[in-house]
Amino acid sequence: MLLGLGLSGVPFAGSDIGGWTGFASPELFARWMELGAVSPFYRGHVQHGTPDQEPWAFGPEVEDISRIWLNQRYEWLPYLCSLFHQASLTGAPLLRPPVFEFQNDLDLLDVADEAMLGPWLLVAPVLEPAVKSRTVRLPAADLLEWRSGARWTVRSRRCVWTARTLRWSLGSRTSTPRTRAGSRT
């Protein structure tokens, strides 16, 4: 939905972290906090009568994961502000499908579960419960692993990324951010 809204000229969009109604599990809430950090609009919001959905309501591990991603969001604010400025001038969405940036890469046309935050950050969230890895379709480009700075020249179009591959210790933290070489994020 967020990618479609961005492409339709609504760059400031997001979801209600944890869901507007219902009962988020600790794993779902933690993953939503991760993914929300790259959404243009990032907030927790629930309807009256729904169980608490603040990070501390899900226990210390989820609270730690949430803190990490809230802090990361603050580190990305200058980048996000520049993307909002670009959107106001050009209409380019902040959150966009990978093919938006790699238009000559026809292998990316049907990728619907990955996104780019601006031109520099590729995100591939794990969307299934209890799953710790996923296949990521990468553009043919030079990429940097965001946390470690490891450089990847992509020749293989599909890679499997796991929490262990990324050296992340918290089992719930399984998004796979990548940056393009030359980025300043």
Cα separations in angstroms, 23 against 15, 26, 52, 87, 126: 15, 10, 9, 34, 19
Considering the entire predicted model, what is its pTM?
Answer: 0.77
Question: Per the domain annotation, does 23 fall within a domain?
Answer: yes
Task: List, for residues 65-105, the tens digit of each pLDDT value.
Answer: 999 999 998 998 999 999 999 999 999 999 999 899 888 88
The stretches of the chain forming alpha helices (DSSP H) are 2-7, 26-36, 60-90, 98-101
Share the mean pLDDT of the chain. 78
Which structural domain range is residue 14 located in?
2-180
pLDDT above 90 coverage of the chain, percent = 20
Q: Any long-range contacts for 66-71 (C-beta under 8 Å, 24+ apart)?
A: 66/29, 66/30, 66/33, 68/170, 68/173, 69/33, 69/34, 69/36, 69/37, 70/33, 70/37
Averaged over 109-131, what is the pLDDT? 87
Q: For residue 125, is it within any domain?
A: yes
Confidence of residue 1 (pLDDT cuts 50, 70, 90): confident
Q: Based on the structure, what is the number of domains in the chain?
A: 1
Residue 48 lies in a domain: yes
- What confidence tens digit (pLDDT) does each residue in 131-167 have? 887 888 888 777 777 777 777 776 555 555 544 333 2
Find the CATH number of the domain harbouring 6.
Answer: 3.20.20.80
User: Model confidence over 18-30: pLDDT tens digits?
Assistant: 776 778 899 988 8
Residue 165 lies in a domain: yes
pLDDT, mean of residues 107-125 = 88
What's residue 40's pLDDT?
A: 86
Domain assignment present for 185 = no
